[in-house]
């Protein structure tokens, strides 16, 4: 269970950083704190783990967070899963807010094979 939570947390940070980069040119840990409503120590730990895994780089002078190529690819994949799941849940009749909320949870546990099924479903 702990591994699942770590993966979900890692993916949530990556997706949040990606979405923040869509809104603004520079993203720092404090922006992630504000967006997720987490305390600074939690975000600092999470961001440092992403750095250790090679997903992000942090500018020592400014604190700006930038993706590595592998980090951007992973973040974009997570966000793509989110969009597909949200669209599928909307298509079966969920209201947009409920679809968005549940897609955010499902995206971290659904298998690649099941994602293919969801993708085909929304393309019909």
Predicted confidence at residue 2, as pLDDT, reads 52
Tell me: do 61 and 96 sit in the same domain.
no
Q: Are residues 32 and 81 in the same domain?
A: no
Amino acid 7: pLDDT: 77
The half-sphere exposure of 5 on its side-chain side, counting CA atoms within 13 A, is 2
Verify that 60 and 109 share a domain, yes or no: no
Domain range holding 11? Answer: 2-72
Contact 18, 119 (CB under 8 A): no
Quote the number of domains for the chain: 2
The domain that holds 92 is classified in CATH as: 1.10.60.10
pLDDT in 10s for each residue of the chain, 124 residues: 454 566 788 999 999 999 999 999 999 999 999 999 999 999 999 999 999 999 999 999 999 999 999 999 999 999 999 999 999 999 999 999 999 999 999 998 999 999 999 999 999 8
pTM: 0.88
Are residues 63 and 80 located together in one domain of the fold? no
For 37, the 3-state DSSP assignment is coil
Which token pair is 88? 């599928």
pLDDT of 32 reads 97
Q: Is 105 exposed, middle or buried (0-12, 13-18, 19+ CB in 10 A)?
A: exposed
Q: What is the pLDDT of residue 28?
A: 97
Same domain, 39 and 87: no
* Cα 24 off chain centre by: 16
Rounded-to-integer distance, Cα 95 and Cα 10, Å = 27
Q: Are residues 45 and 28 located together in one domain of the fold?
A: yes
Same domain, 22 and 63: yes
């Amino acid at each position: 269970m702990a591994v699942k939570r770590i993966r979900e947390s890692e993916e949530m940070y990556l997706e949040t950083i990606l979405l923040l980069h869509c809104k603004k040119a520079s993203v720092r840990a404090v922006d992630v704190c504000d967006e997720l409503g987490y305390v600074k120590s939690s975000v600092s730990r999470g961001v440092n783990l992403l750095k250790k895994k090679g997903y992000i780089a942090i500018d020592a002078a400014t604190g700006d967070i930038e993706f590595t190529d592998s980090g951007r690819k992973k973040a974009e994949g997570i966000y793509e899963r989110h969009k597909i799941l949200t669209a599928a849940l909307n298509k079966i009749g969920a209201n947009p807010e409920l679809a968005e909320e549940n897609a955010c949870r499902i995206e971290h546990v659904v298998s690649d094979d099941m994602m293919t099924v969801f993708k085909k479903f929304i393309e019909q």
